[in-house]
Amino acid sequence: MSRTPPELLCPTCGKGTYQSFTRAKKGARTQRRLRDMRLRPYRCPDRHGWHLTSEPTPKRPKKEINAQ
């Protein structure tokens, strides 16, 4: 089974960048399996794609994420 590594490094954040929310979600799932880390995708503030963060999920409805 292949992992889903980030494809790029974000020049702004220096983090691994996924090109879509779906890929970021897959990456988060992989990390959870490998390292027991709960990560969630968030959109790069500079719009380079999606990153993963281990910060707790803010209390917002999921709709907002999908609406972007």
Which residues are near Zn ion by CB under 5 A? 10, 12-13, 44, 48
Q: What is the dihedral of CA 9, 28, 59, 56, to 10 degrees?
A: -80
Closest approach of Cβ 36 to Zn ion, in Å?
25
Closest approach of Cβ 38 to Zn ion, in Å?
20
Query: Rounded to an integer, what is the distance from CA 14 to the centroid of its chain?
Result: 13
Closest approach of Cβ 62 to Zn ion, in Å?
22
> Which residue, 13 or 65, has its beta carbon nearer to Zn ion?
13
